[in-house]
Amino acid sequence: MAKRKRASTPGGGLSNLSLADLQREMARRQRAAGALVKKRARLAAKLAALDAKIRAAGGQTGGGRARNPMSLAEALAKLLKGKTMRVNEAAEAVRAAGYQSNAENFRTMVNLQLIKSGKFKRVGRGRYTTA
């Protein structure tokens, strides 16, 4: 079967290729994707080995998101039970109680939780307690 190229159209692109050319291009891309998947697997194995060495040396891997046993709203509710605090005081107190966050805008996060969560009641300007 002879290859037939379609007439060129303005803008070019895939519309200029024959079916056989398109199939060859798809096969080429699939081979390339397979090679990339294998390369990724090799790199992931190397990364896992490095992570294990770092942990064995007493270091921590990744700088990802801090994990806490309770949500910020729950931690604030526990902290504010029977107390009234300003946003800054609440942010400092929840951190002092062990809540971990890498956020640069932690005070803003605390403020949003106090405003939007139904667990808190505003008792004055910038002052909150549990509802």
Based on its alpha-carbon atoms, the radius of gyration of the chain, rounded to whole angstroms, reads: 29
Best CA proximity match to 116, nearest among 108, 106, 105, 104: 108
Q: Give the list of residues 6+ apart from residue 71 with CB closer than 8 angstroms, or none.
A: none
What is the full per-residue pLDDT of the chain (131 aa) written as tens digits?
A: 555 554 444 556 778 889 999 999 999 999 999 999 999 999 989 988 888 888 788 777 766 667 788 999 999 999 999 999 999 999 999 999 999 888 889 999 999 999 998 899 999 998 999 98
**Segments making up each domain of the chain, as ranges:** 14-56, 72-130
- What is the full DSSP assignment across the chain? ----PPPP-TT-SGGGS-HHHHHHHHHHHHHHHHHHHHHHHHHHHHHHHHHHHHHHTT----------SS-HHHHHHHHHTT--EEHHHHHHHHHHTT-----TTHHHHHHHHHHHSTTEEEEETTEEEE-
